[in-house]
Structure 1
Amino acid sequence: MMKLYTKVFFRAVFNTDFGERVRVVGDSPLLGSWDPKKGHELKTSEELFPSWFSLEPILLPIKEKVQYKYVIVDETGKLINWEEIEDNRELVPTGVEMTVEDDNGLYREQTQSHLESYSMALDAEQQLVTDSKQREDQVTQARVTYVHQQEMDSMIDENDTLLVVSFELPVKVSKSEDGQFVVTPGKTALLPTLYQQRKKTKIPVKTIGWPGIHVEDPRDQEEIERLLADYDCHPVFPPKKELDEYLAFCHRFLWPLFHNVVILDTHSQQPFNNEQWGHYQAMNRLWAEAVVRVAHETDLIWVHDYHLLVAPLFITRRIRKANVGLFLHIPFPSSEIFRCLPVREEILRGMLCADLIGFHFFEYARHFLVACKRLLGIEHHCRMGGFLGLEYGGRSVMLRIGHVHIQYDDLRTMIESSDEIKRMTQDIRSKYEGRYIFASVDRCERLAGLILKMRAFQNFLNTYPYAQGKVVLIQYAYPTISYWDDTSRMRRELTNIVDKINTDFQDLDEGRGASGHTSEFHHVVFQVKEVTREEKYALFQAADCLLDTSIRDGLNLNPFEYICCRKDEPGAIILSEFTGCSRALASALRVNPWKIENVSEAMDRAMNSTFEESRDRFLRDQNYLQHGSTLRWAEEFLLDLRRSRKREDMLYVSWGFGAGYRVLGMDQHFRHLEVTEVIQAFRKAKNRIFFFDHEGTLAPDRRRITAIPGENLFSQGSGPSKAVQACLQTLCKDPRNTVVILSGRDKESIEAWFGGIENIGLAAEHGFYYKVPTITGNQWYCMSQNVDYTWKQIAVELMMQYVKRTQGSFIENKGSALVFQYRDSDPDFGQWQAKELSNYLSELLFGYPVSVMTGKGYVEVKLRGVNKGVAVQKVLSKLTKINGEVDFILCIGDDRSDEDMFSVVNNLTSQDEGSEDFHIGRTTSQDPHVPQRRRSQDHFRLKGGQRTPSDGLSTKLGSPSPAVGVQSNSPSLPHSKPPPSPMLPLPASAQDGIRADTSATTLTPGKAAAQTTYFTCTVGKKPSHARCYLNDTDEVSELLEALQLFTTKHNVVGSSSTVPYHISYMQGHSPRPLAADVFFGVEDESVERKDSL
């Protein structure tokens, strides 16, 4: 929820001396957090002194109490004196703009006199111009303020702490020869840079990771912890065997697959190793436990790279409101590649436990979005400010796209101050004087494309003979851990290719050294070794061209560093189009490394490009890198991470087990429905009504689509069990009860299932047809007297054309609705087709009494105003007229179509939530690491007698009409609009009226009524408009059995309030364990008819 702010102006009176200033200082960060140097400074003038006032307003959070005082400072901001009052001043910002007058109105009196004399001197025309300009300025300022407020929510408080979580620490611990532990800088590029910049950030930074050494002795571990504490590092000590298996999984499965490589060698195909997957999860859990030991709920937790993809899952399991960000430094594969991973859903769910997920480039984010859509069925959306987001379990998971930068100025300073780099650079230039130097530093692995590079260089020398003896390729390859590739075999292959090139193009004439002795010249210098920073930067300074032919790579900072090293000497850059940085640099010559002729042509172009051509492109990239930095990239990510934090007005609960765990965002009033609560309210009530969905509520949802040759598609399902039927029969026998079953099925189906229960109410096709004995007797009635079905001819014809061209799609006939279902089609193609179909349907059916709706996997055309919410409105209104005020409502459903009736029932209290009789309660498990607020345990209540007639559920209803089709033209039903839930948007269908011709009645008469208790309950813990939930249909059956037992034993109104032993026993038992793959989403109900189209 967006945080709102008030523009606050301050006015005060202080007789200050010359050179003194007045500032406002308070407990808000915007008022300096009591720091006089950071306070809000007031201004004065010769005409208005001693009045001090705000020239520009300060934005303070609306309706949040702020304490403040005035201070006097000198011209440098040094404190002179605090105002002499005993207690702090206080204010509560309200409205769009607010003025705090601590001057007893002196400023108003002064300005008023000035304004009066000034206005008299103004010409009327000038005044009009001024007013118009002021209005324009006010509009502009209001819009600028609104945009600014979008970023205000992401402000990071100085009391926050950043926890950087990575596999390795930015420093490395080793043991010296004398047995002492020593700390040295890490070898990776990014984390040491971030670590070095930590002192420049506004908040404390702590890093968590492996220190690079295996120690099992607890005393050694404690010593390392003490040693690293001075470096703001918290080490993790994984067991060596488990760590090796964990790294094997990372490099054998994740590394190649995330680089879009399924397998490299058909002779070494290996099945998925579930044991290593277990070790991967165990290591992620170990890192998460290290985070939890030092984290607070308000801290920012930043997890890095593919080693810790499921760490957000384990962190949020312990701290549910943790503000977790995840940045992936390698590519994310296409969905077709990613789906080859047996644990694909588990990894996606682990990543989605983060609040913000970062990628270097949009291509990687797009692959992630498509994978989420195809594997988890999650759609993405766009937010103001350029955010991409996913709605997952009631939470918004945001995506950020932005690649890492280098600290250009710092790197340039380090290079220029290093005598060793200067010496090594001079050595390389002297050794290869007069020759054009191609250079590269890569990992010694197949994805670096080293073999392709050597083949391309060999082809270059063959194709362009002028280059023979005038060029040299210097290739450094540093070894890496690689369990999926035989590095030694690759090294042998490369050495053989290099030897052949040097032999075929041997040149003794050009190899004469400075001493005059002939030395053999090599066109290729190939070294496999650990490369120091000094060696790399020296090579980059000496090289004329950087050559990169990676097959797949994430970002690769080498081209950025090469540009920095060259400074004022433009150099050429040849980059594989499969590396990320090729998208960021304008000067790079992009090549396809698989096409060696293309690489050779680029090498020729680099050698023969003019200085002016190279300089223009080079300077453009140099300017781009100078204006970016690692620190700025990190700050922008953290601001977005804070903006993506979990909402304070939500309740976050755990759901699922193992890798299927997730955090669900719920309305704070959402709770488990307790049987004893229902029984207590049921016992006291005299006019009760029950609304039940069928499939998924009273019976398991076993619907399936069946096709019979020569017939239409229809849906098969199952009726209620005999036990449920017996419970319903008992409830229906009590004259104080009205039971209504609402279903998307046709009349014949629900009549066959429930028709044998005496006095039961039925509503078919989401309430379009209904039969409630108290209202209609035993005859079916229709919502409208005349229904025009001519729209079906148009809709069916158009839908059939799309079904022919959309594989996996079909049409459902629901009587009052037609549905184009494409849930079994390709998700992307199906969505494209559905979008076009929806547009054409809306155009062709314009003027008909229908609405076109799109949802997850379907496009539906239905009669306007037909839904379960409208049916509930009608039944409640009619029963109120017949039996008087309803004092007990129990409404249970399980899918999207039931949300309409939840909204209608919840609307009964929309005007009374502020009264003392309205209570919201819930029981939640305490998070062991985060303090919780206390919450009451009462259910929802309101005093019916406190209502006015307008507060009730107004309807325009007449006598029920027999079930014949009639089109109606009467106006829509007026209603009280309930406040939208923070979890789900209020269904538009719940606001549609029933069309008929008669006067309005209300659910609540003007006279005082008995206390009304209502329960809205969804089946399954998921985001919903319902206030309560039951875990499954078995718990619904248990509730019905409890009501049946109570009804059987207590047939007299106002009997003893003692809860039966059966219910007490049931309440005292722990709930049944939930399956790990429990579905958390809210699907739209799909119900099929056998009727012909």
Structure 2
Amino acid sequence: MPTDALEDTQQKQDIEDRLATEHDSLTVFCKDSDFDGHYTHYCKQILWPVFHYQIPDNPKSKAYEDHSWVYYVKVNQAFADKIVANWKRGDVIWIHDYHLLLVPNMIRKKLPDAKIGFFLHVAFPSSEVFRCLAVRKELLEGMLGANLIGFQIHEYARHFLQTCSRLLCVEATNDGVQLEERFVDVIDTAIGIDPVALETSRADPAVAEWLNTMQERYRGKKLIVARDKLDYVRGVRQKLLAYELFLNKHPEWRDKVVMIQVATSTTEQAELDATVSDIVTRVNSSWANLAYQPLVYLKQDISYPQYLALLTVADALMVASQREGMNLTCHEYLFCQDGKFAGHNKNGSLILSEFTGSASVFGGNELSVNPWDYRQCADAIFKALVMQDQEKEQRWSKLYEAVMHHTAEHWFTTFLARLDKVYDEQYRRDTTSIPRLSINALSQSYKKSQRRLFMLDYEGTLASWGSPHDIILTSPQRTLDVLNDVLADERNTVYVMSGRQPEELDRLFKRVPNLGLIAENGCFIKKFGASEWTEQANLEKMHDWQDSVEGIMQYYHERTPGHINDACEEQRVKAIPTEHAVIVAPIDWSKGTAATQIYEQIEASGDANVDFLTVMGDGRDDEVIFRWANELERQKKVKHVTTVSLGAHNTEAGYTLTQGVTE
């Protein structure tokens, strides 16, 4: 509500008190101009169109002229400040939707230990669309302040991860985004309706009255119903044109079917309103008579009892959105089609745009349409009207089952349970909670063990990073001496891991006989005590993708990880950003696969089983081997497991050495 006109602080205090006592709510006050710039301009004229695949290039838009981004920041900051001022340890912060994208990171800066969830209720576009936003980086970083980010469906989550990878050049996995200091989990969980509340609302006598009225008014007619906001992304225009085409193609239906389109008001331009009105006039002037009107168009919302009666009496619901986060209208329609209040089982058909989030949870049991394909939409209308009762019942039953599974309660409990879980996991991985390696404890475990395995990263761990283009590489003499000292004990097996080529590692460690080596991040292994290398990956296949990757690196230098992971996915290739380079390697071969092979070979040799395992590394590509070693400890396959990460970044290692190579 506008607040500039409030005369004194007492009025504001009264509002705050009433909201607190009656609604358990905190109040955020901001200037009317700030809210108008935030909501009417930035949210509705910039974010809403872009998130729904419409670039904000309308020459009539004043969104940039009035610096609406400034107002968006101000309102987000007002929310963040209110939360920070009232937060108590143990509170859960759950932020919703595109109006407050900056709030998670604003809170994180003030409350680094807070448990923060964020859920986006609308679609998230592909990276090519999102990058059109002038402040794309700030928006992504704002969202990444959360511990858990939720999206309606897998497609939106995948778009977000790809966008982070390309625009922020961070490592994005299927589970989330790896930032330098922490991990942000990403999930998709579809929101739904509240069946219990809807059932209560259906029992309202007003619903029954309206149901009787509509059944009497449209007796003998098939009803196709729809209720949408009148904006460009809801596809009202496309839907009406498809209905007009249907009537042209099937004249036998012209006095047997009625479409009722309810169009709720929006802030859209007048052009769409005029276009839709022209279509309505054309359809009705062509086929209406004193006893029949083929298209009923209500440019206003209807009461809730009317709405529920409309869903109950309908023979089909048609949704033609060009993009939509979910579309719960179709969920409510399917719930109302159970026949309890209609007097008989309706099991009506659902004509649903493939570009709605709901389409991904219905398993193809709806009549799926592309709203831009008018012929397909017209054919779907025909199919909905002539479908046999058995097929209608089968489709409806499966759709109803999906609606009753993906309820609002299921969405709520799933998200919050996952937030609790990932928060605990992230806290364990936080470097502030990872203890410094105790040399004394490690020494005690070493002395008690009989068969020891060391897996040591090279660059950044045993030696400082050198340029990948250095022709002559050398290892510090101290490193070579330590390795030789460790190998003097026959109970010790040592492997050094590197992203470098086999011949380079041979040259680096020629003075350390018997040392095991892993080259090119697991693609080549020189077994402990052996003189020859074993090739793990298929070299011919590697040459196939290396040319493609090199070309991508040349043209997309700044966004390399994202482009390689997208373009070369079928070739089983991934890119991992590190401090000084981007490592491009096969997905199927890694330090983890090499370590697994080495460990299994030792276990199968007939000698004593490994009872001491130490893994040390410093980069993102070492996380896979930390996970592997930690899992061996969890499964109690190795008694003493020590995983150590160098530096201060977020890690799954059990211990850290923050001074890096010098330690």
Shift of 1:470: 1.7
C-alpha contact 2:480 2:511 (8 A) present in aligned 1: no
Letter in 2 for 1:553: E
Letter in 2 for 1:605: K
Q: 2:289 aligns with which of 490, 507, 526?
A: 507
C-alpha contact 2:3 2:32 (8 A) present in aligned 1: no
Task: Say if 1:638 and 1:1021 are closer, same or farther in 2 by CA, change over 3 A.
Answer: closer
Query: Does residue 335 in structure 1 map to residue 127 in structure 2?
Result: yes
Task: Say if 1:301 and 1:981 are closer, same or farther in 2 by CA, change over 3 A.
Answer: farther
Query: Does residue 495 in structure 1 map to residue 282 in structure 2?
Result: no
Q: 1:396 aligns with which of 183, 192, 210?
A: 183
1:587-634, Cα deviation, whole Å (9 max, x unpaired): 421111111111111111111112222122212322333455322321
C-alpha contact 2:574 2:584 (8 A) present in aligned 1: no
Equivalent in the alignment of 1:224: 15
Question: Whose relative contact order is higher, 1 or 2, with alpha carbons under 8 Å and at least 6 apart?
Answer: 2
1:354-385, Cα deviation, whole Å (9 max, x unpaired): 11111111111111121122222333446xxx
Task: Say if 1:837 and 1:411 are closer, same or farther in 2 by CA, change over 3 A.
Answer: closer
Shift of 1:461: 0.8
The 5 Å alignment of 1:533-544 reads: 533-544=304-315
Equivalent in the alignment of 2:549: 806
Equivalent in the alignment of 2:100: 308
Distance 2:239 2:30 in 1: 39
Equivalent in the alignment of 1:183: none
Letter in 1 for 2:214: I
Equivalent in the alignment of 2:163: 371
Task: Say if 1:823 and 1:579 are closer, same or farther in 2 by CA, change over 3 A.
Answer: closer
Query: Does residue 421 in structure 1 map to residue 207 in structure 2?
Result: yes
Shift of 1:389: 2.9
Distance 1:642 1:564 in 2: 32
Task: Say if 1:398 and 1:785 are closer, same or farther in 2 by CA, change over 3 A.
Answer: closer
C-alpha contact 2:52 2:324 (8 A) present in aligned 1: yes
- RMSD (Å), alpha carbons: 4.3
Equivalent in the alignment of 1:408: 195
C-alpha contact 2:171 2:178 (8 A) present in aligned 1: yes
C-alpha contact 1:802 1:837 (8 A) present in aligned 2: no
Query: Does residue 638 in structure 1 map to residue 420 in structure 2?
Result: no
SS state at 2:551 partner: coil
Distance 1:359 1:988 in 2: 30
Task: Say if 1:454 and 1:978 are closer, same or farther in 2 by CA, change over 3 A.
Answer: same
Letter in 2 for 1:496: D
Q: 2:385 aligns with which of 596, 607, 616?
A: 607
SS state at 1:390 partner: strand
SS state at 1:331 partner: coil
Equivalent in the alignment of 1:277: 69
Equivalent in the alignment of 1:549: 320
SS state at 1:645 partner: helix
Equivalent in the alignment of 1:594: 372
Shift of 1:799: 6.1
Distance 2:225 2:559 in 1: 54
SS state at 2:89 partner: coil
C-alpha contact 1:1017 1:1027 (8 A) present in aligned 2: yes
The 5 Å alignment of 1:772-791 reads: 783-784=509-510
Distance 1:747 1:363 in 2: 39
Task: Say if 1:426 and 1:328 are closer, same or farther in 2 by CA, change over 3 A.
Answer: same
Task: Say if 1:255 and 1:537 are closer, same or farther in 2 by CA, change over 3 A.
Answer: same
Q: 2:584 aligns with which of 843, 858, 863?
A: 858
Equivalent in the alignment of 1:579: 356
Shift of 1:305: 0.8
Q: 1:346 aligns with which of 106, 121, 138?
A: 138
Task: Say if 1:234 and 1:766 are closer, same or farther in 2 by CA, change over 3 A.
Answer: same
Q: 1:296 aligns with which of 83, 88, 93?
A: 88
More helix by share: 2
Distance 1:797 1:789 in 2: 20
Task: Say if 1:468 and 1:325 are closer, same or farther in 2 by CA, change over 3 A.
Answer: same
Distance 1:799 1:264 in 2: 43
Shift of 1:800: 5.7
Shift of 1:806: 3.5
Shift of 1:259: 1.3
Equivalent in the alignment of 2:45: 252
Shift of 1:415: 0.9
1:527-561, Cα deviation, whole Å (9 max, x unpaired): 22233322211221222211111111110101111
C-alpha contact 2:347 2:392 (8 A) present in aligned 1: yes
Task: Say if 1:768 and 1:803 are closer, same or farther in 2 by CA, change over 3 A.
Answer: farther
Letter in 2 for 1:392: L
Distance 1:977 1:545 in 2: 64
1:142-189, Cα deviation, whole Å (9 max, x unpaired): xxxxxxxxxxxxxxxxxxxxxxxxxxxxxxxxxxxxxxxxxxxxxxxx
Distance 1:620 1:490 in 2: 36
C-alpha contact 1:808 1:822 (8 A) present in aligned 2: no
SS state at 1:636 partner: helix
C-alpha contact 2:348 2:392 (8 A) present in aligned 1: yes
Query: Does residue 262 in structure 1 map to residue 50 in structure 2?
Result: no
SS state at 2:193 partner: coil
The 5 Å alignment of 1:133-148 reads: none
Q: 1:475 aligns with which of 261, 276, 281?
A: 261
Letter in 1 for 2:193: I
Task: Say if 1:235 and 1:533 are closer, same or farther in 2 by CA, change over 3 A.
Answer: farther
Task: Say if 1:837 and 1:285 are closer, same or farther in 2 by CA, change over 3 A.
Answer: closer
Distance 1:624 1:236 in 2: 38
Query: Does residue 621 in structure 1 map to residue 399 in structure 2?
Result: yes
Shift of 1:294: 2.5
Give me the TM-score of the superposition, normalised by structure 1: 0.44
Any unmatched runs of 5+ in structure 2?
340-345, 437-458, 485-506, 514-530, 576-580, 592-609, 627-644
SS state at 2:113 partner: coil
Task: Say if 1:269 and 1:288 are closer, same or farther in 2 by CA, change over 3 A.
Answer: closer
Letter in 1 for 2:295: V
Distance 2:151 2:469 in 1: 53
More strand by share: 1
Distance 1:301 1:565 in 2: 34
Task: Tell me which structure has the larger Cα radius of gyration.
Answer: 1
Distance 2:477 2:551 in 1: 29
C-alpha contact 2:16 2:26 (8 A) present in aligned 1: yes
Task: Say if 1:220 and 1:605 are closer, same or farther in 2 by CA, change over 3 A.
Answer: same
Query: Does residue 240 in structure 1 map to residue 17 in structure 2?
Result: no
Task: Say if 1:646 and 1:797 are closer, same or farther in 2 by CA, change over 3 A.
Answer: same
C-alpha contact 1:745 1:765 (8 A) present in aligned 2: no
Task: Say if 1:619 and 1:980 are closer, same or farther in 2 by CA, change over 3 A.
Answer: same
Distance 2:366 2:307 in 1: 19
Shift of 1:264: 7.3
SS state at 2:223 partner: strand
Distance 1:255 1:331 in 2: 9
Distance 1:222 1:433 in 2: 56
SS state at 1:806 partner: helix
C-alpha contact 2:45 2:56 (8 A) present in aligned 1: no
Task: Say if 1:741 and 1:394 are closer, same or farther in 2 by CA, change over 3 A.
Answer: closer
Letter in 2 for 1:858: V
C-alpha contact 1:743 1:766 (8 A) present in aligned 2: no
Task: Say if 1:624 and 1:791 are closer, same or farther in 2 by CA, change over 3 A.
Answer: closer
